[in-house]
Amino acid sequence: DFFLSPFGTGKHQTFGDGNVDMPKLFAAMKSECPGLEWLQIDTWEHPAPFEAAAKNKKELVRILKEIGWN
């Protein structure tokens, strides 16, 4: 699930485990922020942050290639 706590943070899941359409999100970011120079993918409070980060990086590379944002 995706949620924001009263403190403004979300539950950080591995790409594909939540309810956010990540390709659609990154396509919108590409359209709205064409000069974006870096992305930070947070694994805060994930029970296996290093594994999640590795999976997210691999999936991010795939998504960016899919949407043509290199």
pLDDT digits (tens, 9 = 90+) for 20-53: 889 999 999 999 998 988 888 888 888 899 999 9
Averaged pLDDT for residues 59-68:
95
What is the rounded CA–CA span in Å between residue 58 and residue 46? 17
Residue 64, pLDDT score? 94
Q: What is the pLDDT of residues 2-21, one digit of tens each?
A: 445 555 556 678 888 877 88
Task: Quote the pLDDT of residue 19.
Answer: 79
Whether the per-residue pLDDT at 56 is higher than 70: the answer is: yes
